[in-house]
């Protein structure tokens, strides 16, 4: 338009300006349509796993894997808002095979699995008329584990030795064969030779009279959305997840073989719980989320199938409006110990509540009547205090807590 006006009016300078603008627009269009060089991105997270409120450093490395040089880019790393503001940085020109490294810091006050990336690269033409945005789709993950609280030297009934052992130390786990035969070693008493096994194996086999102690435990996390209260890091569910993680670590220190019952574990394994290491179970807890009442019913059913005689049971349960305590109480087998942490959801909703709610008292009494050692939890009670209470050897009447 400007050039046409210059021709009509007879002003050559205006015509030149119009032509120049047209040329600039064409050059910008050619610039924008040129294929971009191939760039590869790689991230290194230090530490690879974090805990809430811990800083993690992310090092992003850009590598030009093309035969052409790249241009100047403005990069933006797309991350979850919980980790902070999206990092923005400039990626300078990269020659073929060259690399550039940039570093930023993230921190989350909530546990979870957080995706890092993709990276959006924005490139402008030299005249500032156009810009092109491309995305490097590779992503990585930052795992924020639940907070684990050291539980001191206290241990549940039956986990000691000698006079401290209140339940049998040698407990056959579900699905294990009760076999105590091993290969003959020099010096073994020949009167202990097991001849049928010897004939079958073709080598001397002896009876193993002193089997190693095998303690087992079942830990359950109540994740009913209808029963929990509070929001964010101060919610009853976050207290529950942190408590379960802390109990798992303590039981591992005491030599227990533990199975964790969560809604995620049941969905992932189609109701068949698989024994996992303590580290793996805590990593699984990082992704624990609230579920339905039907999930809790399935969890109780799976727990009933695995609550064998002598097996310790520990459950962190929220006090809802139903009679979940009655159903949960059946997990404790005769002669076994059971530890119950009853979360007073109403107190997590209203921290100024005067005394425990009726729902929390009802669940506590239901578990106590079935022989559980139980404590009511409010936001002011720490995980260590709750653990110390339910493992107190001097505790006589659990219903009075």
Helix, strand, coil % in the chain, rounded to nearest 5? 30, 25, 40
338 occurs within a structural domain: yes
Residues facing residue 341 across a β-bridge: 316, 375
**Structural domain boundaries enclosing 187:** 177-211
Domain harbouring 62, CATH code: 2.60.40.10
User: How many whole angstroms separate alpha carbon 332 and alpha carbon 370?
Assistant: 8
Domain count, the chain: 4
Does residue 195 sit in the same domain as residue 251?
no
Residue 153 backbone dihedrals phi, psi, to 5 degrees: -95, -5
* Per-residue confidence (pLDDT) for residue 10, from 0 to 100: 58
Does residue 270 sit in the same domain as residue 370?
yes
Ordered alpha helix ranges (H), 226-357: 236-253, 263-269, 278-285, 293-306, 324-329, 345-349
Does residue 220 sit in the same domain as residue 303?
yes
Does residue 114 sit in the same domain as residue 252?
no
150 occurs within a structural domain: no
Does residue 188 sit in the same domain as residue 252?
no
Cα 194 to chain center, whole Å? 48
* Per-residue confidence (pLDDT) for residue 294, from 0 to 100: 93
Give whole-number Cα distances, 248 to 237, 278, 301, 306, in Å: 17, 6, 21, 17
Does residue 230 sit in the same domain as residue 131?
no
Does residue 10 sit in the same domain as residue 109?
no
* Per-residue confidence (pLDDT) for residue 161, from 0 to 100: 41
* Per-residue confidence (pLDDT) for residue 353, from 0 to 100: 72
Residue pair 106/56 in contact by the 8 Å Cβ criterion: yes
Domain harbouring 349, CATH code: 3.40.50.410
State whether residue 198 is helix, strand or coil: helix
156 occurs within a structural domain: no
152 occurs within a structural domain: no
pTM of structure: 0.78
* Per-residue confidence (pLDDT) for residue 320, from 0 to 100: 85
State whether residue 105 is helix, strand or coil: strand
Does residue 222 sit in the same domain as residue 352?
yes
385 occurs within a structural domain: yes
Radius of gyration of the chain from Cα atoms? 32
Q: pLDDT tens track of the chain, all 401 residues?
A: 555 655 555 556 665 666 666 666 666 565 556 667 889 999 999 999 999 999 999 999 999 999 989 888 899 999 999 999 999 999 999 999 999 999 999 999 999 999 999 999 988 766 566 677 888 999 999 999 999 999 999 989 865 443 334 444 333 333 443 445 777 776 667 777 888 888 877 888 877 654 445 589 999 999 999 999 999 999 999 999 999 999 999 999 999 999 999 999 887 754 456 678 999 999 999 999 999 999 999 999 988 888 876 789 999 999 987 778 888 999 998 888 999 999 999 999 987 778 899 999 999 999 999 999 999 999 999 999 999 999 987 654 444 34
Does residue 241 sit in the same domain as residue 185?
no
H or E element at residue 313 = strand 312-318
């Amino acid at each position: 338009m400007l050039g046409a006006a210059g021709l009509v009016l007879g002003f050559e300078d205006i015509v030149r300006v119009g032509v120049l603008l047209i040329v600039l627009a064409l050059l910008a269009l050619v610039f924008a349509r040129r294929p971009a060089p191939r760039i590869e991105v790689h991230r290194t997270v230090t530490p690879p796993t974090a805990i809430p409120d811990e800083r993690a450093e992310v090092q992003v490395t850009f590598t030009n894997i093309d035969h052409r040089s790249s241009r100047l880019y403005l990069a933006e790393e797309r991350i979850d808002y919980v980790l902070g503001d999206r990092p923005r940085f400039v990626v300078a020109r990269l020659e073929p095979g060259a690399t550039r490294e940039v570093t930023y810091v993230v921190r989350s006050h909530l546990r979870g699995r957080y995706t890092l990336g993709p990276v959006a690269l924005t490139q402008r033409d030299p005249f500032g008329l156009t810009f092109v945005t491309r995305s490097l789709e590779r992503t990585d993950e930052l795992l924020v584990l639940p907070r684990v609280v050291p539980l001191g030297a206290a241990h549940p009934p039956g986990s000691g030795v000698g006079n401290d052992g209140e339940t049998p130390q040698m407990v056959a786990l579900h699905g294990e064969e009760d076999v105590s035969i091993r290969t003959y070693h020099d010096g073994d008493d020949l009167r202990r030779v097991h001849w049928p096994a010897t004939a079958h194996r073709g080598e001397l086999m002896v009876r193993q009279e002193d089997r190693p102690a095998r303690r087992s435990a079942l830990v359950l996390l109540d994740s009913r959305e209808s029963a929990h209260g509070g929001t964010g890091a101060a919610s009853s569910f976050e207290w529950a997840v942190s408590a379960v993680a802390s109990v798992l670590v303590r039981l591992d220190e005491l030599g227990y073989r533990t199975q964790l019952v969560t809604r995620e574990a049941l969905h992932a394994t189609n109701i068949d719980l698989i024994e996992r290491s303590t580290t793996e179970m805590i990593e699984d807890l990082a992704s624990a989320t609230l579920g339905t009442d039907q999930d809790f019913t399935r969890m109780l059913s799976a727990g009933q199938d695995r609550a064998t005689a002598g097996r310790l049971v520990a459950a962190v349960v929220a006090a809802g409006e139903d009679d979940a305590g009655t159903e949960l109480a059946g997990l404790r087998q005769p002669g076994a110990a059971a530890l119950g942490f009853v979360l007073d959801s109403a107190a997590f909703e209203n921290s100024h509540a005067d005394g425990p709610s009726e729902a929390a008292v009802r669940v506590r009494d239901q578990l106590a009547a079935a022989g559980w050692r139980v404590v009511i939890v409010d936001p002011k009670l720490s995980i260590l205090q709750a653990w110390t209470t339910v493992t107190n050897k001097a505790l006589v009447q659990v219903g009075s807590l």
